[in-house]
Structure 1
């Protein structure tokens, strides 16, 4: 059953977003963090239309809530629902995920976690 992300827009704030990322960086994994950062940096871009911002804020609002369909503290599967919601949002607003957005996200991830294996090998 799809999750109506518009119900979660109210839950989003920059403060909650960064707190969630810092507190759960290791547990969420690079893939989930990358998608969250793509959405975050896309919504910061003034060229992103208002309707796309609503989609993004809904997905990020779902991400920052401590209680969701699959609790984030559940081993191995805790971020599955968050990743699904973010993936659906990304499919909807793919045009807003520019190379610049991806570079900003990669820079933040590298700052926190070190370069990805393919980046360190010069492949990415």
Structure 2
């Protein structure tokens, strides 16, 4: 089951300040647990973790933070369009959303975000 571009756009819509706070709370509470579960399934996990550090960096532009938090909030949801527990295909929709977000804000993810991502992944 492929996820279409319109659905991805809906997922990445920044929304209100309240939406942002709810998503940010969800991401902070379960991001690293989801990373551990997804390590084998997401081939660009360093980019995902760097995106997390970019999203929590106060120097990152608000629009970039909004896009990344929206994508990461979708990533940490265990029951999204394709539930993550479905072996082999569970993270395919997450990958599509994350790649779209990553490509939209790539220029804002700085070398220090990648350095922290590499350190974090080495510890996992």
Query: TM range, normalised to the smaller chain?
Result: 0.7 to 0.9
1:106 partnered with 2:118: yes
Backbone CA RMSD of aligned residues = 2.1
Ranges in structure 2 where 5+ consecutive residues have no aligned partner: none
Q: Describe the superposition over 1:70-104 as per-residue Cα deviations: whole angstroms up to 9, x where unpaired.
A: 11111222111111111110111111211111111
Is residue 39–residue 45 contact of structure 2 (8 Å, CA) maintained in 1?
no
- Contact 1:32-1:79 within 8 A present in 2 as well: no
Cα 1:53–1:109 shift into 2, 3 Å: same
Aligned to 1:14: 28
- What TM-score results when the alignment is normalised by the length of structure 2? 0.76
How many residues get paired?
Answer: 110
The structure that has the greater radius of gyration is 1
User: Equivalent residue of 1:95, what SS?
Assistant: helix
Q: Distance in 1 between matches of 2:40 and 2:91?
A: 8
| Structure 1 alignment gaps of length 5 or more | 113-124
Task: Quote the Cα distance in structure 1 between the aligned partners of 2:29 and 2:48.
Answer: 14
**Alpha-carbon offset, residue 47 of structure 1:** 1.8
Normalised to the residue count of structure 1, the TM-score between the two structures is 0.76
